[in-house]
Amino acid sequence: MKISIIVPCYNEEENIGKLKSEFFPVIDGLRGSRPANGIEIEAVEIVFVDDGSRDQTFNILQSTFGSSNGKLISVVLEKHEANRGLGAALRTGFCASTGDVVVTTDSDGTYQFSTIPALLEHLTENVDIVTASPYHPRGEVVGVPGYRIFLSRGSSLLYRLLVDWRIRTYTALFRAYRRKVVDEIRFEADDYLGATELMVKAILKGYRVEEYPAALHRRVFGVSKAKLLRTIISHLGFQIRLLLHRLRLRSIFDG
C-alpha cells in the first residue's frame, strides 16, 4: 500500500523546521508498518502545496525537502501563484497524489504529526474516512482560544443535526481518506469550508466515517490563516443548502 500525505502551506516559513524535526521522522517510521488491516505500507508520498505564500515558504520547502526523493519516500512540491484557499490547495494536492490512502494534515502540527499512525489504525476494512475529533469524549483541546472552539463546536453541532449525529467534529483537516473517496467526491469551496464539504458529501453518498479521538493544540509558530467572518458565512451558506436539500427530500417522500 502507498500512502500520500498532503500538507497545504500558506506563509509557513516559521513551521518548516518543525516539519523537518517532527514530521519527517514519523513518515520514515511509517515505511514497513501495518497500521490497518495488516497491509504493509511500502511507500510514502508527501505532497506540499504552497498556496501562494508571500514569504519564503516555497523556497525553503524546496531547499529543505526538494532532494528527499527516493524509492520509498518521495516529495512533490506544488505551488499556486496566488492564494486561493485551503479547499483549492486540497484539490491540487489530491490531483498530484497517487497513494491508495490519502492523509491531509495541517502544516503547523496543531494535530501532532506523531499521531498519524494512530489515525491510520482507524482506517479498518469497512471505513472510508477517518477524521480527527477533539470533540469526541476521549478527545481534547489544548490551549486553543475559546472563541475559536465555540465557533467550531457550534458549526459541528449544526452539521450533526443536518447530516449525521454520530460524527462530533466536522471541521478538522487532519484526516485519512481511501483513494476512491477523493477521486469520486467533488467539492466546490476554495476556502476552509472545502474539507467539511468533502466529508459531508461523502457521508451523503454513503461512505462510512470513523472518528479518531484527537488532541487539538494551539499553533506554536505564526498565526492562523482562517478568516473567521468569511469562514462563518461559508459554513452557514452550506448548512442552509443542506437544510433545503433535506426539506425537498422530505416533501418528495411525503407527497
Predicted confidence (pLDDT) per residue in 214-255, tens digit: 999 976 544 555 567 888 899 999 999 999 988 887 666 565
Class of domain 2-254: alpha beta
Domain ranges of the chain: 2-254
Is 33 in contact with 117 (CB distance < 8 Å)? yes
Average pLDDT, the chain: 90
pTM: 0.91
Tens-digit pLDDT profile for residues 74-98: 999 999 999 999 999 999 999 999 9
Tens-digit pLDDT profile for residues 55-76: 999 999 999 988 776 667 899 9
Mean pLDDT for the stretch of residues 4-10: 97
Q: In what order do the strands lie in the sheet with 73-80?
A: 73-80, 43-51, 2-9, 101-104, 175-178, 129-133, 209-213
Mean pLDDT for the stretch of residues 170-187: 97
